């Protein structure tokens, strides 16, 4: 009997020790998350989940050490643990989504970055080869952007890029993909669009960009290169053709669209 009692006491203290170690680990995670740069609602969700889990383990520790056993204590522990697990899972999911978006979006303009765009473009070329209208690639470059930076400052240059990103995002359809490919250059993958329709889209964008010009600046213009996706295209061949068209637009006096 004494041996059984000793074993039970040892088991209780082992369980209590594990509960407190678990609570300390959750507490450490709580402190760690507090110092991570996350959007507030994501951080609050994760911290709340950790806090509830910590309280569940704390109740378990009291249950083991103080022998506060009972259905009420067990129910409270289970409810706290379940809520904590659900809320923590939600917070981690939001965290993953937030991190993914950060890795795929351009920080300044909030359109997609080139890495994401290249992957999406590659997938589009792979799966749309048999469609009659595979789509078009539209490349554009802000005219005289260096002069804007020199005459009005880099803050104004950043504002222009943000405006351009907003105009393109608002004008694009859900299936189209907008990208800032570098500097003052942007690209749009126009999905399942014929060349004539893509040219109309480009003209409308030219007008919207001019209309969005800040009052202190000359009218904003862009040089655009447009090309239709061909069955044998790779990402490199498609982009080379679109870039060539865009550079021809620059050579023709800027503020125009060239289609190849």
Query: At 118, is the secondary structure helix, strand, or coil?
Result: helix
Residues 171, 113, 189: CA angle, nearest 5 degrees: 45
Locate 168 and state its tokens.
């393109």
SS3 42: helix
Contact assessment for residue 245 and residue 136, using Cβ atoms and an 8 Å cutoff = no
The single residue listed with the structure tokens 């942007």 is 186
CB count in 10 Å sphere of residue 6? 10
Following CA atoms 207, 211, 213, 214 in sequence, which dihedral angle do they give, to the nearest 10 degrees?
A: 180
**DSSP strand pairing (177-182 vs 185-191):** antiparallel
Annotated active-site residue in 77, 184, 185, 187 = 184
The C-alpha atoms of residue 241 and residue 229 are separated, in whole angstroms, by 10
Contact 22, 15 (CB under 8 A): no
**Is 187 one of the catalytic residues?**
no
Q: What is the distance between the alpha carbons of residues 31 and 28, in angstroms, rounded to a whole number?
A: 5
Catalytically active residues, by annotation:
184
């Amino acid at each position: 009997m004494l041996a059984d009692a000793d074993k039970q006491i040892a088991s209780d203290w082992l369980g209590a020790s594990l509960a407190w170690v678990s609570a300390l680990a959750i507490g450490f995670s709580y402190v760690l998350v507090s110092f991570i740069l996350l959007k507030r609602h994501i951080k609050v969700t994760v911290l709340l989940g950790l806090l509830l889990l910590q309280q569940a383990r704390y109740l378990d520790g009291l249950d083991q050490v103080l022998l506060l056993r009972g259905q009420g204590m067990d129910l409270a522990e289970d409810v706290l643990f379940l809520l904590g697990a659900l809320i923590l899972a939600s917070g981690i999911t939001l965290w993953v989504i937030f991190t993914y978006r950060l890795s795929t979006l351009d920080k300044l303009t909030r359109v997609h970055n080139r890495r994401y765009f290249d992957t999406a473009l590659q997938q589009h070329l792979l799966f749309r080869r048999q469609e009659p209208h595979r789509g078009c690639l539209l490349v554009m470059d802000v005219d005289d952007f260096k002069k804007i930076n020199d005459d009005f400052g880099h803050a104004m240059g950043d504002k222009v890029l943000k405006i351009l990103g907003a105009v393109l995002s608002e004008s694009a359809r859900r299936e189209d993909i907008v990208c800032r490919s570098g500097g003052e250059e942007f690209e749009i993958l126009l999905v399942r669009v014929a060349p004539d329709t893509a040219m109309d889209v480009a003209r409308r964008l030219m007008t919207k960009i001019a209309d969005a010009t800040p009052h202190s600046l000359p009218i904003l213009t862009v040089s655009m290169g447009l090309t239709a996706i061909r069955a044998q295209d790779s990402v490199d061949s498609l982009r080379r053709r679109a870039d060539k068209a865009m550079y021809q637009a620059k050579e023709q006096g800027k503020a125009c669209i060239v289609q190849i």
